[in-house]
């Protein structure tokens, strides 16, 4: 079986220090959390950035400063900026990190409720616009799907030329407004992507580790991190993103699945080697 790519979503846009004091806001805190995840076995850092007071921003200068600082510490790690940003941001605001031409970036494949009164808006035209931008800049999209319909959207837009092959999906499961994180729903999603595609699964909250286990067994890949879950076990806060990654590494080792280095992750995902 292919080696396991672990992505660490270290920061997110919604989770706060009030939820877990180790959630990073400053550049130094982002570097600390990225390094803890990398040292534990993560090969990809899914990145949101904040101003020092914790306000989410898509400012390209802030992204550059954080990405440069992470790469100064861990040069080979794959950094995957978010183009989702936070609910309510405009498309062009969200697209700013693509100006830095990262190896990868997220591409959100549909609109969904996002808890409370929030709606995370990604119309078909938005997805086409983002997909086209990523093709022009040679950025590999991680196709974030919060529901089955978003896989269908991605497949349709691939046929229309807005997404290149091979496709790499991220099943984000358990958002309040998206698909649940139950095993039957995981199987539904993973059976809905074409042969030749890869996927990672991001289980929100209590779904994080059960879905990681399912993907480890299935030959998929895994995303963990504070963006998705702040607990290492029921009621116990994780001390770092690295602690969450280390748990996935232990699970994989028990099941005989080896962990991919960044170089191996690039091979699996078809990225250029650095």
Tell me which residues touch Zn ion (CB under 5 A).
82
Q: For the CB of residue 118, give the shortest distance to ligand KMH in the complex, in Å.
A: 8
> Of the two residues 185 and 228, which places its CB atom closer to Zn ion in the complex?
228
- Please provide the DSSP assignment of 134-197 as one string: HHHHTPEEEEEESSHHHHHHHHHHHHTTSSPSSPEEEEEE--BTB----HHHHHHHHTTSPTT-
Peptide bond into 13 cis (omega under 30): no
Alpha carbon 236 to its chain's center: 23
Which stretches of the chain are assigned E, i.e. beta strand?
Answer: 6-9, 44-47, 49-50, 56-57, 78-81, 104-108, 112-113, 119-120, 140-145, 168-173, 198-203, 221-224, 231-233, 236-237
Q: For the CB of residue 240, give the shortest distance to ligand KMH in the complex, in Å.
A: 20
- Contacts of residue 148, defined as CB under 8 A and 6 or more positions apart, other chains included, come to 179, 188, 189, 192
> Of the two residues 14 and 99, which places its CB atom closer to ligand KMH in the complex?
14
Stretch touching ligand KMH by CB under 6 A, among 76-84, 212-220, 236-244, 250-258: 76-84
Q: For the CB of residue 47, give the shortest distance to ligand KMH in the complex, in Å.
A: 9
Nearest position to ligand KMH, beta carbon: 84
> Of the two residues 83 and 241, which places its CB atom closer to ligand KMH in the complex?
83
Q: How far apart are CA 234 and CA 166, in angstroms?
A: 37
Token duo for residue 169: 């999906």
Region 102-141 residues binding ligand KMH, contact defined as CB under 6 A: 106, 108, 114, 120
Alpha carbon 102 to its chain's center: 14
Which among ligand KMH, Zn ion, none contacts residue 144 (Cβ within 5 to 8 A by kind)? ligand KMH
Residue 84 within binding range of ligand KMH, rule CB under 6 A: yes
For strands 221-224 and 231-233, give the pairing.
unpaired
Residue 144 within binding range of ligand KMH, rule CB under 6 A: yes
Q: For the CB of residue 56, give the shortest distance to Zn ion in the complex, in Å.
A: 10
- CA distances to 38, 136, 180, 220, 258 from 243, rounded to whole Å, are 11, 37, 25, 21, 18
Residue 226 within binding range of ligand KMH, rule CB under 6 A: no
Region 164-223 residues binding ligand KMH, contact defined as CB under 6 A: none
> Of the two residues 15 and 22, which places its CB atom closer to ligand KMH in the complex?
15
Residue 37 within binding range of ligand KMH, rule CB under 6 A: no
Q: For the CB of residue 11, give the shortest distance to ligand KMH in the complex, in Å.
A: 10
8, 5, 60, 14: which is closest to 30 by C-alpha?
A: 8
Beta bridge partners of 223: 7, 202
Residue 97 within binding range of ligand KMH, rule CB under 6 A: no
Q: For the CB of residue 101, give the shortest distance to ligand KMH in the complex, in Å.
A: 17
> Of the two residues 29 and 144, which places its CB atom closer to ligand KMH in the complex?
144
Which among Zn ion, ligand KMH, none contacts residue 108 (Cβ within 5 to 8 A by kind)? ligand KMH
Residues of this chain that bind ligand KMH (CB under 6 A): 13-14, 82-84, 86-87, 106, 108, 114, 120, 144
């Amino acid at each position: 079986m292919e080696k396991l790519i672990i992505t660490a979503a270290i920061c997110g846009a919604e989770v706060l220090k009030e939820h877990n004091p180790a959630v990073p806001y400053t550049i130094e805190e982002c570097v600390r959390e990225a390094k803890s995840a990398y040292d534990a076995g993560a090969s990809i850092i899914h990145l949101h950035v904040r101003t020092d007071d914790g306000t989410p921003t898509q400012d390209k200068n802030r992204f550059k400063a954080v990405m440069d600082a992470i790469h100064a510490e861990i040069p080979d790690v794959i950094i995957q900026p978010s183009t989702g940003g936070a609910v309510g941001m405009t498309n062009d605001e969200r697209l700013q990190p693509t100006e830095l031409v990262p190896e990868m970036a997220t591409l959100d494949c549909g609109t969904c409720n996002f808890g409370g009164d929030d709606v995370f808006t990604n119309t078909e035209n938005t997805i086409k616009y983002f997909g086209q931008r990523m093709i022009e800049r040679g950025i590999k999209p991680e196709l974030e799907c919060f529901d089955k319909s978003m896989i269908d959207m991605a497949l349709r837009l691939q046929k229309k030329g807005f997404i290149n092959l091979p496709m790499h999906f991220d099943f984000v499961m358990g958002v309040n407004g998206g698909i649940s994180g139950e095993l039957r729903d995981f199987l539904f999603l993973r059976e809905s992507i074409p042969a030749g595609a890869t996927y990672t699964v991001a289980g929100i909250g209590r779904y994080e580790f059960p879905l990681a286990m399912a993907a480890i067994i299935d030959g998929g890949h895994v995303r963990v991190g504070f963006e998705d879950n702040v607990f290492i076990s029921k009621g116990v806060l994780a001390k770092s993103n690295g602690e969450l990654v280390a748990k996935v590494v232990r699970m994989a080792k028990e099941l005989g699945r080896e962990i991919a280095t960044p170089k191996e992750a690039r091979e699996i995902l078809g990225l250029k080697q650095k």
